[in-house]
Structure formats: C-alpha cells, structure tokens
Structure 1
Amino acid sequence: MTRENAAMHTYLMAKRMKDFWDNWGIEMLMTLSCVMHMVLTLFGSSRRSMTARQGLLRFLIWSAYLLSTYVATVIVGKLTLIQINGTTEENTDSELKGFLGSLLLVQLGSRDAITAYSIEDDRLGVRQIPNVMAQICSVSWILFRCWNYTLVSYLYFPLLVAGSITYGENGWALYSSLSGRSGITTSAFKKEKKEIEHILNLIDPSNEDAKTVNKLNKRNLEMVLKAYCRFFSFKPHIEKSMYRPLYQSDRRLSINKRDNDMFFPITEIELGFMYDVLYTKAPIVYTRTGFALRLITSLGLVSCSVAFAFWFKDAFVYYINAGFTLVVLGVIITLEAYQIYMLLFSDWAIIMLLKHNKHWIQKQLLRFLASRSSKWKRWSNILGQFNLVNYCLKYERLYFSTVLELPAVDIEIRKVFCTNNEVISDVLKGMLIEKMRKLEKPTALKPNSNFRLGIPNELADRLREEMKELDRNNGTTNLYESVDGTEFDKSIILWHLATEICYSLHSDRKDSNLKIKMGRHLSNYMMYLLAVRSEMLSIPTSEIVLEDARKKIMTFLKANSSVRDVETACRKLNEQIVVEENKEADQIPVTKNWCPLLVAKKVSGTLLSWSNCDIWDVICSVWVEMLCFAAMNCPADCHSDQLRRGGEIVTHVWLILLHEIDAEVDTNTEQDLEGQEVRVEVLA
C-alpha cells in the first residue's frame, strides 16, 4: 500500500467514525447513562453493608457516580447542536432527541439510594444549586429548540417537571445533610416536640397508645423507636455538634442493664438513620412534601409513557428512534417503580407508619415490616484484622516496589494483602458491652495526648504495681510509663505484641475460654485501625511508629530465619533474651529509646506470671478501654465517612458512649436547657 493509499484509508476510517458518532453518539451515551442509572439504583444502598473484599462492586458504583454527570454534560452538549430545520421525519427525530433530554434530567435526579458518595460531597452541597439550575436551563433550551406543536412536544412539560423535581431533590438532600436543615435548629426541634412525645408514648407500656405496639412485635418496634429518638436528639452527623439533646424528655432513652443485647441492634439502626441522612434522599422522601413530589413525578412519567406508546403504537418496529426512546423510558419507569417498592423496606417507613397508624392497612403493613426488620442487614458486621507479626513475616515476599516504584503505594498494597476480616458474633458484642459498663467514667476517655490505663479492678491495679516493681528492680527501662503513659500508637503496638505472646502459649485453650478469642480479635482490630485506618485515630506519627516497629521485628525474625508462622515467632520472642539496638543514625525523635519488643516481652511476662487469675480478663479490659479511647478521640467526620465503607465497630462504640455520657449528665434544670438552645443558635 502506497503512502497516498494509506493516508486515504486513514481519512476514510476517521470519517466513518465521525459519521457514526454524529448519527449514533447520543444513543450510545444514553445507553451508557441507563447502565449507570441501573448500577446506582440497584447497588447504591448496598455500600452500608459492603466488606473490603467487594472492591469490584465498590469500583463500579464509584465509576458510575463520577461519570454519570460527565456523560450527561456531553449528551446535553450534543443535543444543543442537533439540526432543527428539514423534512417532517427530521423534525420528528429532533422532537425525540428533545424527549431524551427530558429523560436525561430524570435520570440525573433518580438516585434515592446515593445522593452523595462521600462526606466531601455533602460539604459542597451549596455548589450543587448552580449545577442544578444550569442543567435545567440547558434542557429547557433544548426543548424550546425542538418544540413542534405535536403530542411529543407537549409531553415535554410533565417530563421537565419530573426531571426538575428529582434533580432538585438531589441538591436539596446534599444541602440539608450537614447544614442543620434536617431538624437540628432550635425552632425545628420545638416543632417536633409533640412528635417525639408521641413516639415515646408508643414505648411506654403504661400509655394507651402502646397497646398498638404491643400487638405489632413490640421488641423490634421498640428498638427502631429508641434508635430514631436517640438519633433525632443527638444528630451525631452534624459537624461540631455538642452531642446533647436540645429537648429533654422525662422518660430516658437509655438502655437497661438487663437489655445488654439491645445495645448494638439499636446502635446499628441509629447509624442507619445517620447513613441515610448523609448519603441518600431518605430524610426528604419520607415527608409529606417528599411524598407529594414523588406522586407528581410518578404520575408524570406514567402518563408520558402511556401517551408516547399510544402515539407511536404502529411505528416501533420500523422507526428505530421511537423504539429506542420507548426503551429508555421503560428503563427509567422500571427503576422508579423499584425505588418506590424499596421505600417500604426501611426503618424510616416504620417510623412514618407509627406516626400514622390509624387505618387497618397501615397496621397490617407495620406488622409485616416489624417482623422482618430484625433481619435487615444495616452494616458489614465485621472486624478488620491486621497482625503486625504476620505483616513482618510476609513483607519480604511481596515485591511490589520493583514493579510500581512507588514506596507509598507499595506499603498500602502490602497492608491490604495482610488484612482479613472476622465476623462479629453476638457473644463478642455482649462481652464488649459488659466490659464497657465496667469503665470508671466514659467522660475520662475524652481527648488526651497520652493513653493511660483506667480499668477499675484489682487485676489492673496489680498490673501497675508489678510493672513499677520491675522498674525498680531493673533500673534501665521505665516499663510502667512506657505502657501506661506513652503515646497511643505505641501503646497499641506494645499491647498487641504482648497479646500475641500470650496467645501463642494459650492458643490450645481458645475454644474453652472465649476471652482469648475476644482479646486477640480486639488486638488485631486495633492494629488494623493503626495500620489501615490511621485517620480514625488522629495520630500524625502512626506511620513512623509502625515502620520503626516493623524494622525491629524484622531484625528479630532475620536472626531466627527458621520461623515461618506467627505462633512460632511469638514463642521464640518469649523464650529468647531480647536486645534491641537503637542506632543513633536511624533515630527519629518520635521513636528514640523506644524498645517495643523488650517492653512487650516484659508486659507478657508479667501477665503470664499470674497463676491465680484470668489474665485474658485483664487483656480484654485493656483492649476495650483502648477501643473506647480511640472511639472518643476519632473525629465525627471520620466516623461518618466509614459508614459508606460498611461501618466500623469503633463507630458503634463511639455512639454508645455518647449516649452513656449523656445519661450521666444532669440536664434537667431550666438554666441548662436555655444554655443548650443558645449554643445551638450560635452553631446554626
């Protein structure tokens, strides 16, 4: 082939591609938009229960969320350039293209399950208002250009109204999620006072209204009611919230000690409300205004589809543009029907039915939902597990640095390969609540520079005394201060290594003593937070401390090259004399004179020397207190952000502690209530 022929062939190929794009580009992009609409509608709400291993589905949702707006912008740009003048058939084509513009607006707004992908989207909610207005104006201009005084042209009006409502709801949801427009202001809270009292009457067995609840699966409804009232009172998702209810009822929403098994279910429901406010349209849809808007939207779509099908009833087979438009309309209506169906199966629907349960149909529906609400999956229900010793054993086997040549990415990939999950059993949740109740004062866990043990039992006191005694006998290493007064990240690593040593010697008893499993799971979970979710611990030096500990552990493992598993490594560490060298050239002020292996061995040795007590009770108590300390020091935004990743147990602990702290504070005086209202007005 000569050069001229090759150039001509290239030109013809480019021309064919351009012609294809000009003729079918809008249809291709609309098909892609429909696919993304399906992904966001069907899988958007599943983020609350996703695990880290569902990365592919998470990537699809992320891609669909980001690309949908971009694809819509390209479609709108192409629609503004369509030719209007021509034959009757060409005019019909232009009318159908305008019809697609209206459907595109509906697609952009029909995202009940995912209005925001992350908390950052909510912070930019105000910026969505100009975007919404720009898109509506662009589509209106397209419809104006395509107007032809036919039935199809008149169908533009209901579709434009439906699209403007649904797209406007998106902006409304983003704007109200963090701005306080969902009921956090004093005036709004006063308006809801009667409503809250009515819901509390449904919980109070002495009230006549409670008879309805007693007949409708009282336990499940009581949990949903308590969760809603606790969420409504605290509004924990609001930035800089004081975490104190504005309206104090005489009836407490705290949970009795005999109902320990209700703590986590109620907290799961409460966090479900929090997730919906931040990432979905639920707070808007489940209102009278939202119901009216949804009714208008649905009627508009159905009426348009019927009229369109009647108008083109004889043209679908041979008129491909009309057939394609009907398929897009059918996809949108089907997904809209699915979203309306899913609105019934949520805790918000139960609350709305409880508020208006006068009719027989509503009571039957409430009975149906109440019997199934306990089976709904509201979060991932897993504990992330990261074992530091296992990470060091596998570190040299992963050669990502030579491929990626990006050390930061290399480290993150290594962490992912060394992370696994454990399902949180009801037994573990019960033991957590039992340990949390034994804490001296939850208020003592509020932010401090250092973590100090505060377990109120004799074993903890004995641990302190024996550490101090070892300090006096040693004279070289300040064991007590290195465990009880050091930085939080170092405390996690020290107790993690000590727990691993104890576990290696007691692993054969893990089935008979559940505290052994609990202690190790919590130990690996706190290391998971430190290594993988360090932003939740708010420790700027966590990466430095973790890397220093890794190097020292790997030095020990290289000296024992025959070690291939965690249990053997920990037994070797317990048996051998550990000497850690701190080279001045490699020293960083944060880790200067820090000997994690030596201190961890001494802590485990102290624990193992106790023959007349359950050392795993002490270990579990230490980890529960560390978990509580981490929960109270984690920023509220980090807790909110983790809800979209399946949730973390540390977030549940945070919310439980907030309610327990509030239960201890006397806020019944009128002066305190006035002070709270003033503070909220200032924040608003």
Structure 2
Amino acid sequence: MAGTEQVVHVWKEWGIRAQVLLSLALQVTLLILAVFRRRVDSGVLRVFVWSAYQLADFIAIYVLSHMSVAATGGGSWPDEHELLVAFWTQFVLMHLGGQDNITAYAIEDNQLWLRHLQALAVQVATAAYVLYASPIFRSDGHSSWVLQVATILNFVAGAVKYGERVWALRYASSSSSSSPGNYGALDYRSLYKYVVIVPSTSRLAAEDILYLGHKMLEFPKGLLKGSATGNNRIKFLVRRDTGPQAYISHGFCLRLEEAYKVAEVQLSLMHDVLYTKAESQCGVIRVVTSVATAVALILLFPLLLTGTSSSSSTSSDRGYNKVDAAITFVLSVGACVLEATALVRHRLSSFNWFRDETRGIKTGLLPGATASFRRFVGAADRRSQHSWSRSMGQHSLLQVCVGSKVNRSSKVARRLGVEDWWNTIACSWSVAVSPLIERLVVKQVRESCGVLASSPDHISNSRGRAVLKRKSQQLYSELEWSVDPNQLSLEDTILVWHIATDLYLLQWRNNRKGSEDLAKAVEALSNYMLFLLVARPNMLPPSASRTAYVEMCYCLTAVSYSSAEELADLLRRYGVALNTRSESFRFPYDTGMTANRLRSLHNNTALQRGSWLATKLIAEDSPSSADTMLKLMGKVWVEILCYVGIRCSGYSHAKQLSDGGELVTVAAFLLEYLKRGVLTSDTTSISPDGPTILY
C-alpha cells in the first residue's frame, strides 16, 4: 500500500506538470510531421501523425477537465503553485487550436465541424471558469496585474486560435454548390466561365505553374467538393495595364506537359485547402495571436525571473515555485515560437503570394521582401517537387498466390481467418512514378483533344477501346470483349489485363532484350491498378468490387506450384489450351482439393480470359516490332487509369490526399482540364504574344 500511496502522491504533484509539457511536445510533433504527410505515403508516418493528432486533443481536454475539478475544490492543488497552474489553462486552449498545417487528420474531421464547435464552446467556458475560480483575478494580493494582463492576452489568443480551427474545418467541409448565400436561379445562359490572367515577365517557370495551379483551383474543387458550374468551359481574359481595353479575350490553351505539372501542384493545394488553414486563415488573426503571446512573454519574463523561490514550499510574498516557473516559461516560449512560426508560414504561403500576384501588389516592403525570400529559397520549385508522394502502390496476383502458399506468416493468417487482410498488407509495396509513366499519361490524354466527350472513343469512356481501334480493326474485333463495359465488368477487365500483362512480360523478358524502362512502366501500371482494386477499392467507381479478386486467389492457391514463374508457365499453357480448344491440359492440384474449389477453378471466367488474352498478345508480337505490343498495353492501362479516375468519387479523391495522393487523382485532374477546354494537343500554347505560356 505504501508504494501505491507514493505513486498517487507523485501523480498529484507532477501529473498536471507532465501533461501540459506533453501537450506542448505533441503540438511540436504535429507541426513537424504534418509537413511530410502530403508528400510521403508511409504507414509508419500515418501511425505517428494519427497518434499525435488524437493524443493532442485528448491530453488538452483532460488537463482542462482536471483543472476545472480542482477549481471547484474537488482536486488537490498545492497553494504554492495554484496561481501558475491556473495560468497554464490558456496554453492548453492554444493547443486545442492546433497547428495551421494540420487542422484535420481525415476528411471526416471536416464533416464533424459542428462537434468541434460544441467542443469549442465547452472548452472555452471551462477555461474561463478555471480562471474565474483561480486566485489570478482575486483582490487578495495573491496575484499581480502583470499576471492578469498576460492571462487575458493568452486567453484571447487561445480562444481565437481554437475558433479559427473550427472555422477552417467548416470551410473545408462546405462545397461551392451548397455554400450559404442568397436564393437565386442558376445562370444557364453562358456556357463559359471567364478567368482573369495577370501576365508577368518576372515570374519563373515554376512560379508560372504555381500561379496557374491557384488560378485554376476551381477545377479540382469542382471535382472533389462539387460545383454548380462544374461543366462550364473556360475562357481566359488577360489583364492589360495599357491600351484601350482593360481586358482582352484570347484562345489561351495549356500544353499537356505543363498541365501535368499544374495537376501535381493542385494535389498539394487541395490538400492544404481540405486539411490545413492555408486558404481559410486570416492574416489579422495570425498577427493578433503572435503579438499577444509575445507581449505576454515579455511581461512574464521578469516576473518569473525575480519571483521564484529556492524552496519547494512558497507563498505569495516569497515567490513562485521554481519548477512551476520553469514550466510556465517553457510554455510561454513554446506558444510564442509556435505562433511566430504560424505567422511566418502564413506570410510566405503560396496562397498569400497568389493574392499579391492577383492584386498586382509587387512593390512595397512586405510583398517585395516576401516574393524575394520565396524566390531565394525556391519555394515554387519545392512546392512542385514535393507536391505529393509521387508513388504508386503495387500488387501482383502471381506474387500474392505464391506468398500465400510459401510464406509462414500467410499460413498463420489463414488459420486465424485473416489471410486476405494479411496478404493485402504484406504483398503490397510502392514504386516511384517514373517520367515515362508521366509521358504515357500525357500522350494518351492528348489523343482525346478534339474528341467529343460523349464519344465512346474519348479517354474518359474508352477503357482501352480507342487504343485497340487505332492499332488495327482486326485486333479490336478480337479483343473488344476485354475492354467493353457491356461484356466485362471493370474489376474483371483489370484482372484479365493484369494476368495477360504479367504472363506477357515474363515471356518478353525471357526471349528478348528491349526497352526495359517501358516494360517496367507497363508492369507498374498493371500492378497499380490491381493495387487500387485490392487495397483501395474506394478509389474505383462504386459499382466495382474486389470479390472477383478474392475468388481468383481462392482458385489459384489450390494449384500446385512453388514460384511465380512456375505459376505463370501453367497459366500460359492453360491459355494455349483454351486457344486450341484442347482438353488435355490439367492443373496440378494440392492435396485436399475439394470438388467446389475445383469447379471454381475451371469456371473462373476472368482467369480463363486473362490466360487466353496473354497467349493472344504473345502470338501477335513479333521480334521485328519495336516494343509495339508493350506500347499497346501501356496505352490500354493509361486509358483504364483515366476511366477509373474520372469515375472515382470526389470524396475518395479528397480522402486519399491526406495519405500522399494518388496518380489516379492526377489523371482525373487532367480530364477535368480537358472537359473545361483548356488543353491543347499542340506542342506550344496558343498565345498572341509569343511565349509558351502567357500569364
């Protein structure tokens, strides 16, 4: 019992102290880790960010609750540090306001902004009550006017900061089509939306891309959040400083190579819109909170320095406890540094820079210094280079099946009934999006410039049909079934082409040496689409299901093999037998094969068609053709990628931005540009003044 009493005594003495310091440490952790969240797709990082995000609010609310209980007489605050402990309330309130670069961890946090509003009212009222019940504002000589002023300043800063967080959540959750406003009918008379472009000869190329990313931010907002004018095409107006007309209209179009860079930047910008205060924050609030915490620190410093006591037991006329004074100083400095950092980040943010560029504010001490510093540190280049994770998940059917039979961990997972879940995690990895894949996407989107959006051959509808048609009418007639939505579901199309790609690439690598980069790109696209189907089915259209994948794994894990090459050889022979209508082929079975499993294996349509397609592609290939079949498969996969991207829900696109973003979202943005009429298939942009891009 003595040990228990000692633990209780230590907790009463140090519990609040440790928790307020932990709360500050969590805020610093969030500030640092949130920088990497939008550009790193890492499960470990997600665990740390999620833990810090949840603990930050939990610890802060617990501390306020404990203080409120102590303030009513239910606690055991020692008299010697009651003053400073009550003073810590304001810092906890600031911590509840969070960091500007991570207001929401998941998209659902934005939708729950009303819950956060309720928490704001409760926690601010709790903090006010703690201060009211504390000796800080008593007229019995226990406190000084300096402490009272510092308390008021920090309390106002904390309440405003917390309110700003709730406003940011509410702003991110609202869509342009559902935002409050006056009643009125939609204007259907105009098919165009006019966008004013401010030309500049002083901006760098990366700054031009960033400028257009901001200027065209309505496009991804319409895709991810919904827009009443989402189908309007765009006409650009160029602002002129001289001449008889203030604005002129011209046929500006954006090159696809540049559009891809704009789309990548907009992934980063939309992350900031949905998960940070970048777009919704007010510069005045940043100044007010920064000045308030700085003034409070200046007032407190001499008071804490001269008012400490060497004794652990003090009274008001002897000073404050040294430990409490040190903690108060750390909390004050921490709050001041965090708010100063937020002010600097706000001033240097691309959203603030864009406002200055749009308003033509390029002179003056502050705008000029901001622009110069951003250019000195290469802010636009850094935004472009670190806009998103630039990685794509990978999942191979052959490797999953082999791993499920060979790996001991998969066997244990099977006995526990979590085989599918475990294999999805253990057999998935990621690779970088190569420049070749970027070029493949750009070239394929270019094919649809000038094609009617309602045409079956448009990239948003084709799913590979247009590619097969351009190759040859004969090949299209033979393989149309593999890409036709009326004959094959999307998940079956992905499985069929994934099997065919894997079998073809194994044969290709065994027989020839060609463009290995192209082969890797095709393989990466194939594995990526299967990864979306298996690990992130929410990124596919709502009608898609991973059931066909699970059934195929169930069938193939009953076949006898020991390596991916051996399984691929079996499937190739199976495809040859299907092509020749031979009935002599038989899969080698493992012991324990049931009749139902055998029936599922032979009746699996996707497996049959994938094996048959592989043998067809191998037969159509010839040594004289320079990677023609590889290029064909790459184009088919890009069209499937774009088909999925434009049909994926905006909610799923937005949700994935918090985990580094997806290539399929970049493709969706490009198709949105195509729909709005701002892309050109030419290699140079249309501009009356000569430069490639006119801004």
Superposition TM-score, scaled by structure 2 size: 0.80
How much has 1:398 moved relative to structure 2? Answer: 3.5
8 Å contact kept, 2:645–2:667? yes
1:380 equivalent in structure 2: 389
Alignment correspondent of 2:644: 630
* Corresponding position: 1:309 with 2:321: no
Give me the whole-angstrom Cα distance separating, in 2, the residues matched to 1:240 and 1:662: 15
Which has the higher mean CA deviation after the structures are superposed, 261-270 or 384-393? 261-270
Deviation of the 1:329 alpha carbon: 1.5
Amino acid at match of 2:119: N
Distance 2:219 2:441 in 1: 25
2:479 & 2:220 partners in 1: Cα distance? 41
Shift of residue 648 of structure 1?
0.5
> Of 6, 9, 13, which residue of structure 2 is paired with 1:19?
9
Alignment partner, residue 179 of structure 1: 174
- Give the C-alpha shift of residue 182 in structure 1: 11
2:231 and 2:347 mapped to 1: Cα distance?
29
Q: C-alpha distance in 2, partners of 1:616/1:406?
A: 40
1:384 aligns to what SS in structure 2? strand
- Cα 1:187–1:261 shift into 2, 3 Å: farther
- CA, structure 1 residues 157+642, in 2 after alignment: closer, same or farther (shift >3 Å)? same
Contact 1:80 1:142 in 2 (8 A): yes
TM-score by length of 1: 0.81
* Distance in structure 2 (CA, Å) of the matches to 1:412 and 1:444: 39
Alpha-carbon offset, residue 123 of structure 1 = 0.8
Aligned to 1:109: 97
User: What is the distance in 2 between the residues matched to 1:220 and 1:76?
Assistant: 46
User: Which of 153, 159, 162 is the aligned partner of 1:158?
Assistant: 153
Gap change, CA 1:124 and 1:480, over 3 Å in 2: closer
Give the direction of change, closer, same or farther, for the CA distance of 1:90–1:388 in structure 2 (3 Å limit). Answer: closer
Partner residue of 1:573 out of 547, 550, 571: 571
Q: Which residue is 2:653 aligned to?
A: 639
Q: Distance in 2 between matches of 1:293 and 1:547?
A: 53
How many pairs does the alignment contain? 614
1:49 aligns with 2:39: yes
1:438-492 Cα distance to aligned partner (Å, 9 max, x none): 2455555899999673437432533232348xxxxxxxxxx66889721111110
| Amino acid of the structure 2 residue aligned with 1:131 | A
Name the counterpart of 1:292.
284
SS of the counterpart of 1:200?
Answer: strand
Bigger drift between 633-642 and 437-446 goes to 437-446
What CA distance in whole angstroms lies between the structure 1 residues aligned with 2:99 and 2:183? 27
Are positions 1:272 and 2:272 aligned together? no
Find 1:453's aligned residue among 434, 451, 465. 465
Q: Is contact 1:96-1:321 (8 Å) kept?
A: yes
In the alignment, structure 1 residue 464 sits paired with structure 2 residue 476:
yes
What CA distance in whole angstroms lies between the structure 2 residues aligned with 1:375 and 1:300? 32
State which drifts further: 524-533 or 455-464: 455-464
Amino acid aligned to 1:305: L
Q: Offset of 1:427 from its aligned partner?
A: 2.6
1:148 aligned residue: 138
Aligned counterparts of 1:24 and 1:253: Cα–Cα separation in 2: 69
| Root mean square deviation, CA, Å | 3.6
Determine helix, strand or coil for the equivalent of 1:282. coil
1:73 maps onto 2:61 in alignment: yes
Where in structure 2 are there 5+ consecutive unaligned residues?
187-192, 238-248, 311-321, 578-584, 588-592, 680-695
Q: Relative to structure 2, which stretch is displaced further, 261-270 or 315-324?
A: 315-324
Q: Which secondary structure does the structure 2 equivalent of 1:647 belong to?
A: coil
Superposition pairs of residues 403-552 of structure 1, within 5 angstroms: 409-439=418-448, 441-443=452-454, 453-455=465-467, 457-459=469-471, 461-467=473-479, 485-507=487-509, 512=515, 514-538=517-541, 542-552=545-555
Cα deviation 1:501-535 (Å, max 9, x = unaligned): 11112226576364322221111110111111111
Distance (whole Å) between structure 1 residues aligned to residue 160 and residue 291 of structure 2? 13
Give 1:239 deviation, angstroms: 3.8
Partners of 2:23 and 2:60 within 8 A in 1: yes
Q: Which has the higher helix share?
A: 1
1:326 to 324, 329, 341: 329
Residue pair 1:390, 1:418 contacting (<8 A) in 2 also: yes
Distance 2:466 2:586 in 1: 29
**1:618 and 2:616 are equivalent in the alignment:** no
Helix, strand or coil at the partner of 1:216: coil
**Could you say which residue in structure 1 is the equivalent of 2:683?**
none
Which amino acid is 1:164 matched to?
A: A
- Taking a change above 3 Å as real, the CA distance of residues 604 and 588 of structure 1, as seen in their structure-2 partners, is closer
Q: Distance in 2 between matches of 1:266 and 1:448?
A: 20
Deviation at 1:551, TM superposition (A): 2.8
Cα distance change on mapping 1:585 and 1:199 into 2, 3 Å: closer
SS of aligned partner of 1:113: coil
In 2 relative to 1, CA 65–372 (structure 1 residues): closer, same or farther, beyond 3 Å? Answer: closer
What one-letter code is carried by the residue in structure 1 that aligns with 2:381?
A: S
- Aligned pairs for 1:217-296 within 5 A: 217=204, 219-232=205-218, 235-236=221-222, 239-241=225-227, 244=230, 249-251=235-237, 256=253, 259-285=255-281, 290-296=282-288
Residues 425, 402 of structure 1: alpha-carbon distance in 2 compared, 3 angstrom cutoff? closer
Conserved 8 A contact 2:272-2:279: yes
- Report the Cα distance in structure 2 between the residues aligned to 1:571 and 1:253, rounded to whole angstroms: 58
Task: Indicate if the aligned counterparts of 2:405 and 2:411 stay in contact, CA closer than 8 A.
Answer: no
Compared CA separation, residues 405 and 243, structure 1 to 2 (3 A):
farther
Report if aligned partners of 1:452, 1:484 keep a CA contact under 8 Å in 2.
no
Asked if 1:608 corresponds to 2:618, the answer is: yes
Q: What residue identity is the alignment partner of 1:227?
A: G
Deviation of 1:546 after TM superposition, in Å, equals 0.7
Tell me, in whole angstroms, the C-alpha distance in 1 between the residues paired with 2:267 and 2:586. 45
Match in the other structure for 2:341: 338
SS at match of 1:548: helix
Measure how far apart 1:157 and its partner are. Answer: 0.8
Question: In percent, how many aligned pairs have the same letter?
Answer: 20
Cα distance between partner residues in 2 of 1:432 and 1:447? 11
Q: Residue 597 of structure 1 is aligned with which of 607, 616, 630?
A: 607
| Alpha carbons 1:72, 1:104 under 8 Å: kept | yes
Partner of 1:347: 350
Classify the secondary structure of the residue corresponding to 2:636. helix
Determine which of 166, 169, 175 is the counterpart of 2:164.
169
1-side partners of 2:37 and 2:86: how far apart?
35
Structure 1 residue ranges without an equivalent (≥5): 1-10, 191-196, 203-209, 469-478, 666-684
Per-residue Cα deviation, 1:271-301 (whole angstroms, up to 9, x for no partner): 222111110011122xxxx111111111110
